[in-house]
Amino acid sequence: MKTQSIQKYRPFPAVALPDRTWPDQVIEKAPVWCSVDLRDGNQALPIPMSVEEKMEMFDLLVAVGFKEIEIGFPSASDTEFAFMRRLIEEDRIPEDVTVQVLVQTRRHLIERTFEAIRGARRVIVHIYNSTSTLQRRVTFGDATRDEIKAIAVEGAQVVKEFVASVPETEIVLQYSPESFSDTELDFALDCCQSVMEVWQPTPEKKMILNLPATVEWSTPNVHADQIEWMCRNIKNRESVLISLHTHNDRGTGVAATELGLMAGADRVEGTLFGNGERTGNLDIVIVALNMNSHGIETGLDFSNLSSLREVYERTTRMTVPDRQPYAGELVFTAFSGSHQDAIKKGLDRRRKEQSETWGVPYLTIDPLDIGRSYEAIVRINSQSGKGGVAYILDQEHGYDLPKTMHPQVGKRVYDLADERGEELSAQEVGNVFHDEFVNVSHPMTLEDYELDHHPSKRGEVICTVEISLSGERKKTEGSGNGPINALVHVLEQLGLKDFVLTDYRSHAVRGGSSSDAAAYVQLRHQDGRILWGVGVDPSIEMAGVKALVSAWNLLR
């Protein structure tokens, strides 16, 4: 930004709270959660949800575990009104779920709202009016504090009056000094306490004071100071629930909420994946899973996050970014070689130790806990390393490569990704491995191989081998203490032994045919090069023989 542009801005004033206590607090329990997807989220959509889509979203929010759901602004449109009536008349609201409706502090709108909620078991009626200096000056034409406070008081009085019209419904009042984030604290307090005087809440029948960061003007610590100041100074604190409603204009909505909870708030409003006006509302998924990652039960079930995301994207026509915490397509994916190697080691060690405590480098939670798979954790591009390739071959194709083979295979795979300039799929990684390391048959091809046990020497075998090398066929026989050793002696007789066999491994191929076996043979060439070859065959003995041939060919 240019200097002349910067000069138009001013720092946000700090809160005078020298003895603040929130920095020493720790979040130990979940707040009351309220989803505002169907109101704040819906009003921010280019194409608002239809009644049917709102029904699907409502059912989804109930299934997740929300006990308070703001379902809309029934006085604002026929669609919103019809949705509220359908929820009630079709008995779609579970006994333990409270719906919340928003309404401006105007008599005819409040009246229409009470028509909409008639017949519901329990409803939070949420009234609000803007209170900030900027709103008073610009929106309300230099209205005085007393004029603004009178709007709040009148709204509370009208709601209280209309309670008698719905005797079968328990009404909970919620008041928001909208634009609290840039309202003078003493005035926000005055408005809230004036509404409380009308409503007369008690510890047994509390009301909700919602303190919204309607616009995020400050750093999260200032928001926390504002919340702690209100919690300290409000009268009859035990008779109210202090609720947070952060937006994300500065990209710190989650941090502001977490610090606000440390500052004493009891309740949180937000949306799935942060949908909302401008840069969005608080993403409740992030805050709840952050708590889960510290061992705190939240009452919200995000164990199938991909399914939630599918419904959300279809009904809202919004897209969850690839890097959105927890829900994004790539958030559990490592392309970096060092990250891949650390993740693989962490998962291997956890499996070996059968640990109940999560501790894998670079992964704050277990992807399985939110319905993600380990298969998507490691993906391969030119920045990847040997550990990531080995992980893909292990998890996707069932090959447990010897540790010292990782660099050999990894370099070839990520060199190919670099040549192409693109990511390689798990299938493509498997194809490279099979094409270039498994049963390699050039320049030497194993045409025939027969094995017999030595008639007089126990433990020794005799092999009859036919090979073709550069178009020339050769057949001979050799003996040894096993099939691979016997083949080594055959190659020595043919003048083709320019190596020392230094290692051998084998295992059944996981996920493949039950008869598949994989063998790995490491050879050290006389010039000092060391390479592995791989053999795959239904016979474990033949797999070893083929691995030796593969390694010999790769040394060429």
Mean residue pLDDT across the chain: 92
Largest CA distance in the chain: 111
Average pLDDT rounded to a whole number, residues 476-493:
91
| Range with the largest mean pLDDT of 176-185, 389-398, 448-457 | 176-185
> Between 107-117 and 78-89, two packed helices, what is the crossing angle to 10 degrees?
30
| Residue 311: predicted pLDDT | 96
Query: Which of these ranges, 31-35, 376-380, 509-513, has the smallest mean pLDDT?
Result: 376-380
CATH number belonging to the domain at 28-300+311-316, selected among 1.10.760.10, 3.90.870.40, 3.20.20.70, 3.30.450.20: 3.20.20.70
Query: Which of these ranges, 160-174, 269-283, 337-351, 375-389, has the smallest mean pLDDT?
Result: 375-389
In this predicted structure, the answer to whether residue 384 has a pLDDT above a threshold of 80 is no
Query: Which of these ranges, 316-325, 505-514, 525-534, has the smallest mean pLDDT?
Result: 505-514
- Least Cα distance to 299 among 94, 64, 45, 97 occurs for 64
Query: Which percentage of the chain shows pLDDT scores above 70?
Result: 96
In this predicted structure, the answer to whether residue 386 has a pLDDT above a threshold of 70 is no
- Least Cα distance to 68 among 114, 36, 91, 115 occurs for 36
521 in Cβ contact with 499 (< 8 Å)? no
Q: pLDDT category, 419, cuts 50, 70, 90?
A: confident
Euclidean distance between CA atoms 297 and 30, whole angstroms? 7
299, 305, 336, 532: CA torsion to nearest 10: 110
In this predicted structure, the answer to whether residue 229 has a pLDDT above a threshold of 90 is yes
| Residue 383: predicted pLDDT | 65
Euclidean distance between CA atoms 227 and 244, whole angstroms? 9
Tens digits of residue pLDDT in 93-107: 999 999 999 999 999
Which residues sit opposite 127 in a β-bridge? 103, 175
Euclidean distance between CA atoms 32 and 439, whole angstroms? 61
| Residue 410: predicted pLDDT | 86
Q: What is the pTM of this model?
A: 0.79
Contacts of residue 364, Cβ cutoff 8 Å, sequence gap at least 6: 293
In this predicted structure, the answer to whether residue 454 has a pLDDT above a threshold of 80 is no
Tens digits of residue pLDDT in 266-319: 999 999 999 999 999 999 999 999 999 999 999 999 999 999 999 999 999 999
Place of tokens 């984030």: 181
Fold equal for 28-300+311-316 and 444-554: no
DSSP string, 233-268: HSTTGGGEEEEEEEB-TTS-HHHHHHHHHHTT--EE
Contacts of residue 535, Cβ cutoff 8 Å, sequence gap at least 6: 438, 439, 518, 519, 521, 542, 543, 544, 545, 546, 547, 548, 549, 550
In this predicted structure, the answer to whether residue 512 has a pLDDT above a threshold of 60 is no
Q: pLDDT category, 376, cuts 50, 70, 90?
A: low
Tens digits of residue pLDDT in 311-337: 999 999 999 999 999 999 888 887 777
In this predicted structure, the answer to whether residue 452 has a pLDDT above a threshold of 90 is no
CATH topology of domain 444-554: Double Stranded RNA Binding Domain (3.30.160)
Q: Where are the domains of the chain?
A: 28-300+311-316, 337-437, 444-554
Q: pLDDT category, 3, cuts 50, 70, 90?
A: confident
Q: pLDDT category, 418, cuts 50, 70, 90?
A: confident
In this predicted structure, the answer to whether residue 487 has a pLDDT above a threshold of 70 is yes
Q: pLDDT category, 382, cuts 50, 70, 90?
A: low
| Residue 447: predicted pLDDT | 92
Give 3-state DSSP helix, strand, coil % of the chain, rounded to 5: 45, 20, 35
281 in Cβ contact with 50 (< 8 Å)? no
Q: What is the separation, in whole angstroms, between the first and last Cα of the chain?
A: 60
In this predicted structure, the answer to whether residue 389 has a pLDDT above a threshold of 60 is yes
| Residue 260: predicted pLDDT | 98
Average pLDDT rounded to a whole number, residues 347-363:
90
The total number of residues shown for the chain amounts to 556
| Residue 309: predicted pLDDT | 95
| Residue 513: predicted pLDDT | 53
| Residue 395: predicted pLDDT | 82
Q: pLDDT category, 167, cuts 50, 70, 90?
A: very high
